[in-house]
Amino acid sequence: MSDVNKVVLAYSGGLDTSVIVRWLQDTYDCEVVTFTADIGQGEEVEPARAKAEAMGIKEIYIDDLREEFVRDFVFPMFRANTIYEGEYLLGTSIARPLIAKRLIEIANETGADTISHGATGKGNDQVRFELGAYALKPGIKVIAPWREWDLSSRESLMAYCETHNIPVDFASAKKKSPYSMDANMLHISYEGDLLEEPWAEPEEDMWRWSVSPEAAPDRATYIELDYQCGDIVAIDGQTMSPATVLEYLNEVGGANGIGRADIVENRYVGMKARGCYETPGGTIMLKAHRAIESLTLDR
């Protein structure tokens, strides 16, 4: 008999985590609670509710965390001028502690003894989720299906869905972008496909949030940022919430060709990985904060 009774799963409603729901139910004979976070990824999160219900999930959490994400995670990060290896603004990294925090809160609320996530065994996300969870609740159990099961490809996941009657839009799944993408309010990232070849230049139609510098306006766009205690509180004299600030800067920055990065980074697990990133608002925030410090701080 499994020693796992109830699992809180970080659930997107996509192919991977839909398979994980059924796999957890079948493998551990446990109750599954789903948690879907809206951190500005640009996708509708409510459809995840219907998908979870179709698989017999009784406890479903869908939370809008956009303001908390920017206020408590993005803003403090830029107050510290955080940047990894000179170029990466940690768009994926900074979102994971918030998701881990909420997973533990829901586990406490529902009496769950375990959490689960859909991070692979090769990337940094597994470390971010699990260390964050253990820091908040050392005794929590973690199930990482990608380190346990024998499913190894998108085709095997889709075959699993067919044999286990998992509600997935197969047409949409087959048409999915060839890139592995992750998005939130701070950035969107791209990995895989032709990016695996370091010499290959990204195709222009890959980018979704910004125009190329060549296509940007020929005249500068001016904005005025008001700071309070190191955080932007108003733009052009208009007071804005943290999430609204970032949303506005993403729009302005993207329209002016700001925020693209194409880098090879060192992962925590010891691998090198190429990633392309669009972080228009974050790039403006970092540059502006450094400029404020140059005016106000001594050496």
What are the catalytic residues? 16, 96, 125, 180
The answer to whether residues 226 and 233 touch, using CB atoms and an 8 Å cutoff, is yes
Instruction: Reduce the DSSP state of residue 218 to 3 states and report it.
Output: coil
Expressed in angstroms, the distance from the first to the final Cα of the chain is 63
Q: Taking the mean position of all CA atoms in its chain, how far away is CA 212?
A: 23
What span, in angstroms and rounded, lies between the C-alpha atoms of 21 and 55? 8
The answer to whether residues 157 and 151 touch, using CB atoms and an 8 Å cutoff, is yes
Q: Which long-range contacts (CB under 8 A, 24 or more apart) does 228-234 make?
A: 230/75, 230/79, 230/289, 230/292, 231/75, 231/79, 232/75, 232/285, 232/288
Q: Tell me the Ramachandran region of residue 259: left when phi exceeds 0, alpha when psi lies from -120 to 50, beta otherwise.
A: left
